[in-house]
Amino acid sequence: MSLLGGLLVFLLFVQGGQSMLGSLSREEDEKKLLVNVLGRKWEYTFTTLVTFGGAFFASFPLFYSTSFGGAYWAWMILLFCFVLQAVSYEFQSKPGNIFGPRVYRTFLFLNGVIGTFLLGVLVATFFTGSQFTVGKGNIAGLGTSGAIISQWQNPLHGLESLFNLRNLSLGFAVLFLARTQASLFFVNRLRHEKLEQRSRKFVLYNGVPFLLFFLVFLIWTLFDEGYAVDPVTKVVSLEEMKYLHNFTDMPWILVLFILGVAAVLYGTFKTVFSPRFRKGIWFTGAGTIIVVTMLLLIAGYNNTAYYPSSIDLQSSLTLENSSSSEFTLTAMAVVSLFVPVVIGYIIYAWGALEKKKLGMEELDTDGNAY
Amino acid sequence: MDMLSISTVNWARAQFALTAGYHWIFVPLTIGLALIMAIMETIYVKTGEEKWKHTTRFWQKIFGINFAIGIATGIILEFQFGTNWSNYSWFVGDIFGAPLAIEGIIAFFLEATFVTIMFFGWNRVSKKTHLLSTWLVFTGATLSAFWILVANAWMQYPIGMEFNPDTVRNEMVDFWAVVLSPVAYNKFLHAVFSCWAVGASFVAGVSAWYLLKKQHVEFAIQSLRIGSLVGLVGFVMLAVTGDGSAYQVAQKQPMKLAAMEGLYEGREGAGLSAFGILNPNKTAYNDEVKPYILNVEIPKLLSFLAYRDQNAFVPGVKDIIDGGYTLPDGTTALSFEERKARGEKAIQALADHMVARKEGRAADVASHEAILRENYAHFGYGYLETGVDLIPDIPLTYYSFHLMVMIGIFFILFFMVVLYYLYKKKMSNTGWLQYVALWSIPLSFLAAQLGWIVAEVGRQPWTIQDILPVEISASAVSAGNIITTFILFTLIFTGLLAAEIAIMVKQIKKGPASLSTENHTGQ
């Protein structure tokens, strides 16, 4: 699951790109080129998000039911903006699209900004906690609040997470990371001098804010209280510097995390400072996958409640109390053997379509432009 | 249950039905067109004739317009089990989540990856690779239908699981029982052939429009040939798999069958209602009012179709509530009251079990668990009030079912006639048949929607047959929130549907000729 999360954040570069369609391009042609270079990749992000939902359902049904049914508005808004994205590539330049290209590009922009930001905020709640209760006896008539097992206790249904500065800092970090990656992707993929120059600048303009917001979130999280689970009694309690302890207790995660951060920074700043360097996206992309994966691992491993409830500690979700049965997890593990096959053909397809970089001419000859 | 939560449940149902309904406008067209395109491209690769390439690419263009909106409505559904049905998600997520995850890993990525090659790869990969990609898009879409229908079938016929009172949920114990359930493969085949049918009627209708306009005649005839063959196969197979599905319904969901047929009082050697008008004055299942104003019946056919025995007893609504008749396995059917009592016993045993576990009374834990297991098959009945709660909306189910069947029969005849006229080379100057083809497009979409209404309305009040009613399945979100998202969904989906139709109409008016020049001039 953590790896899937990592991949998802990497693939958010599509959203990052969407968020700067307007600011990066000066002319209509340039805009069209950007739309098309992203438009050949958007399905991957989208499919990963869908699979992320399905995999969470299969592996951690209690998370699926508590978070989606509870933080209702946060998820709904996130999904809405992905719905808008899905049609926008195909529809925007087609005659008869009713709302006009400007509206569809606004949809792409909204998806780029809200999609990344909200996802960051929601992931931050894995560390900062949410306001829900879980009572497995409710369905049998135990408890006093009806038959529903998990209940959100804040009427804003997820939007309250926007009032937490630490959540916001991760939201902004993910937004700027996505934009940094998008800039790196453009540098790598486009054969268009002006856009490439501007993209390099955008790497810097977005890389620095990303770094600042990310450091705020990271330092705050490492030194603040975390949600620890007693391995014997299963009682959840607050522990000072819990997430820092998780790093020191599991040094291999810390090492990988630092390597990941290093790769992100190397890819970013090498692109800024050496004008011929085009491979930044590979370093930053791989680094992003590792960093996010490790971050999600310290949220749940080492006796930690990965989806904590801040108002009722004992309702917090742990890997153990919210996961599927061993039988189902085994079945899912067998299915995961397909993942290398999937990755294999994605690499093939990516390679087959990306032998040539994308310039203005290919838009005409490939026969299917957005 | 208080009023608020009933309205929450109903709005949650409405919102889910809205999304699923919209989703099922686009998905059948996606799968059906994918097959038709793949066949056309195969002919192109085999014969090397450019005209088949243009035909393929025209339909690919239409496919592209439709594809995105299908997955846009799909992403909502993937999460809606959690947002709208959180209790359900925990209670059965251990079984239900797996097919969804498998769908993502095995099917969606296949589809999403090769669709990019299909769209952008014409000049970047070899002919054969491109053809393979088109077939893989069709395969991916079909596989995804398979896994989601496995999930749906499991709700209608829960097997391969065991209730675990410690985790308070159902857990999977037999993966293959879930995947190979007879309900699942009948449903899957029925749904997939309905996609062929919808795609084919769409292609036939659009082609007929060109014939009416006397434009692109060769292209239209080519498309019609493939479309009609796929259509005939699709609709004939719909009849075959529909029979299989109805047989499963008779065994596993007798109340749904009774609703489909408007059958209030069971009979031996029951006839199938071929055409009928229900009596609106019938207000209670056990009043003496006749159920029909008009009913044209085919004698003994219902018994035969439902139990493969023309004299078998088919229970009606009243029998299912009152019990007392003999089930196919030889046992006597329990009344609703009896099942309710057993369901309540099971729920109470679960509560007692949890308390005993907490207080560490091992002997009690075991005895309560035994009571629970003994009565678990009736668990959901414990949440219902009266026998009337068991009855789905009969007029809606009845009319949906009958209209769907009539449309299906119409299309079998229609495609046979079209194929005959194509064979006689008279299609291009038979105006009336071209009009029929054009105006039949909405009928196939309608039939697909009606089929799902029968399947889903007909199984009410159950989310999981006999185990979990909808009232207990929802999320703890107030109705106001769901109404807001319901309105938002309605606006967005309707707007997008309008845009899709408008874009398609423009594209169809431009016609296939525009594509042959497009390679050189760009768009």
Q: How confident is the model at residue A16 (pLDDT cuts 50, 70, 90)?
A: low
Q: Do A139 and B168 touch (CB under 8 A)?
A: yes
Among B residues 245-274, those touching chain A with beta carbons less than 8 Å apart: none
* Averaged confidence pLDDT in chain A: 85
Q: Tell me whether residues A328 and B97 touch, CB distance under 8 A.
A: yes
Question: Which residues share a beta bridge with B164?
Answer: B169
Residue pair A93/B201 in contact (Cβ under 8 Å)? The answer is no
Inform me whether the C-beta atom of residue B81 falls under 8 Å from chain A C-beta atoms.
Answer: yes
Coil, strand, or helix at residue B443? helix
Interface check B474 vs A, CB under 8 A? yes
Residue A9 lies in a domain: yes
Residue A302 lies in a domain: no
Phi, psi (rounded to 5 degrees) for A148:
-80, 130
Q: Which residues of B touch A352 (CB under 8 A)?
A: 117, 121, 124-125, 129
- Of all residues in chain A, the one with the smallest CA distance to B62 is A90
Backbone angles phi, psi at B459, to 5 degrees: -100, 0
Assembly ipTM: 0.84
In a domain, A138, yes or no: yes
**Closest partner residue to A50 among B75, B102, B492, by Cβ?**
B75
Out of A57, A151, A332, name the one closest to residue B93 (CB): A57
Kindly determine whether residue B495 and residue A98, on different chains, have CB atoms separated by under 8 Å.
yes
Span of A217-221, A319-323, B205-209 with lowest mean pLDDT: A319-323
The pair of structure tokens assigned to A46 is 């989208």
Kindly tell me the burial class for residue B395, based on how many C-beta atoms sit within 10 Å of its own C-beta (0-12, 13-18, 19 or more): middle
pLDDT reported for residue B513:
65
Closest CA to A42 of A20, A9, A15, A19: A15
Q: Could you tell me which residues are beta bridge partners of residue B220?
A: none
Residues of A in contact with B103 (CB under 8 A): 54
Averaged over A332-359, what is the pLDDT? 80
Mark out the alpha helices in B103-126 (DSSP H runs).
109-120
In a domain, residue A305? The reply is: no
What letters, b where the CB count within 10 A reaches 16 and e where it falls short, cover B296-318?
ebeebbbbbbbbeeeebbbbbbb
8 Å CB contact of B172 and A327:
yes
Single out the residue of A138, A213, A225, A141 nearest to residue A175, CA to CA: A213
In a domain, A197, yes or no: yes
Mutate to test the interface with A, among B61, B103, B116 (most CBs of A within 10 A): B116
pLDDT tens digits, A165-202: 999 999 999 999 989 988 888 888 888 888 888 888 88
What is the predicted pLDDT for the residue at B4?
42
Write phi, then psi, for B27 (nearest 5 degrees): -65, -45
Say if residues A35 and A92 touch (Cβ distance below 8 Å).
yes
Say whether B468 sits in a helix, a strand or coil.
strand
Residues from chain A that touch B347, judged by Cβ atoms under 8 A, are 140-141
Do residues A348 and B500 lie in contact, with contact meaning Cβ atoms separated by under 8 Å? no
A306 phi, psi to nearest 5 deg? -80, -20
How far apart (Å, rounded) are the C-alpha atoms in residues B447 and B48?
37
Matching residue, tokens 């023309």 = B310
Residues of B numbered 33-72 whose beta carbons fall under 8 angstroms of chain A's beta carbons: which are they? 57, 64-65, 67-69, 71-72
* Chain A residues inside the 8 Å CB shell of B476: 69-70, 145-146, 148, 150-152
For chains A and B, CB pairs below 8 A equal 306
Report pLDDT for A203: 87
**Residue B454: both structure tokens together:** 């029968």
Residues A246-261 have a mean pLDDT of 92
Asked if B371 is an interface residue toward chain A (Cβ–Cβ < 8 A), one would say no
H helix or E strand, kind and range, residue B276: strand B272-278
Of all residues in chain A, the percent with pLDDT exceeding 90 is 21
Nearest-CA distance from A219 to chain B in Å? Answer: 33
Chain B hits for A46, Cβ within 8 Å: 71, 75, 112
B502 or A31: which leads in pLDDT: B502
In this structure, is residue A245 part of a structural domain? Answer: no
Closest alpha carbon to B336 in B220, B446, B461? B461
Mean per-residue pLDDT for A245-272?
A: 91
Alpha helices (runs of H) in B458-522, residue ranges in sequence order: 479-510, 513-521
Q: How many domains does chain A have?
A: 1
Q: What is the span of the domain harbouring residue A351?
A: 2-226+328-365
Cα-Cα-Cα-Cα dihedral of A156, A161, A165, A170, to 10°? -150
DSSP for B357-404, written as a single string: HHHT-HHHHHHHHHHHHHHGGGGGGGG--SGGGG---HHHHHHHHHHH
In a domain, A290, yes or no: no
pTM of the full structure? 0.87
CB B123 to CB A366 under 8 A?
Answer: yes
Q: Report the residue of chain A nearest B349, measured CA to CA.
A: A140
CB pair distance less than 8 Å for B499 and A87: yes
Q: How far off is chain A from B86, nearest CA to CA, in Å?
A: 4
> Per-block average pLDDT, block size 10, for chain B (523 residues)?
62 88 92 95 92 90 89 86 87 87 87 88 87 93 92 91 88 89 91 95 94 90 93 94 91 92 90 88 85 88 89 91 87 92 92 87 88 91 91 93 94 94 88 92 94 92 90 84 89 90 90 54 29
The values of phi and psi at residue A130, to 5°, are -135, 175
Q: If you average pLDDT over residues A129-151, what whole number do you get?
A: 83
Give the mean model confidence (pLDDT) for residues A220-247. Answer: 89
Which of B32, B2, B3 minimizes the C-alpha distance to B237?
A: B32
Q: Are residues A61 and B89, on separate chains, in Cβ contact within 8 Å?
A: yes
Using CB atoms and an 8 Å cut-off, which of residues 110-129 of chain B contact chain A? Answer: 110, 112-117, 119-125, 129
